Structure 1
């Protein structure tokens, strides 16, 4: 299965809910995680944007699966990732990537 197909299937499942929400009981977490594990890197920028937007709400967790979204999106060069973040929805994945990018740039100075 190619990345385009995988990303389309992830979009069909939908964004990750907060782990404290009752919606998590019906969310297809195992299928979502299984699909994420099948992605090949590097991703296309459009795919990274979709993955960032599939993250749970800001300042929440979804059984740590959001980190798989972070690591997949981070397969892009930092400059490209910055541009994608400008277009991304406000999710925990976006927040984590922003923090990691800021930390990596501040350690260079």
Structure 2
């Protein structure tokens, strides 16, 4: 599968649920994580946006699989990520990436 096919399959599964809810019991978490591991570089900005939108709700966790989404979504330039982050849904992945971007641009003011 190529990245577009993987992203499409992940979107069919839907966003990660909060692991404190009953939805986690039926979510195909292992398949979701396995698909994330199959993504290859480079990602398109639209792929990163889709991954951010698949994160669990803001201030929620899904057995820390959201970190796999963070790392995958960050496989584009910081500038491209900064451009798409305002378009993203309010997910935990977006919250984490916003913090990481702020730290990056603070440390790299010339970027």
TM-score by length of 2: 0.94
1:25-104 matched pairs, under 5 angstroms: 25-104=25-104
Q: Over residues 47-96 of structure 1, what are the superposed CA-to-partner deviations in whole Å (9 max), with x where a residue is unaligned?
A: 11110000000111100100111001111111100111011000000000
Q: Tell me the distance in 2 between the aligned counterparts of 1:107 and 1:46.
A: 26
Q: CA RMSD in A?
A: 0.9
Q: Secondary structure at the match of 1:95?
A: helix
Q: Please, which runs of 5 or more residues in structure 2 have no aligned partner?
A: none
Count of aligned pairs between the two proteins: 109
Following TM superposition, the consecutive aligned residue runs of length 4 or more in structure 1 with deviations greater than 3 angstroms are none
Q: Tell me the distance in 1 between the aligned counterparts of 2:51 and 2:45.
A: 10
Q: Tell me the distance in 2 between the aligned counterparts of 1:4 and 1:54.
A: 15
Q: Over residues 7-40 of structure 1, what are the superposed CA-to-partner deviations in whole Å (9 max), with x where a residue is unaligned?
A: 0000000000101010000101000000000000
Q: Tell me the distance in 2 between the aligned counterparts of 1:104 and 1:47.
A: 21
Q: Secondary structure at the match of 2:40?
A: coil
TM-score by length of 1: 0.96
Q: Please, which runs of 5 or more residues in structure 1 have no aligned partner?
A: none
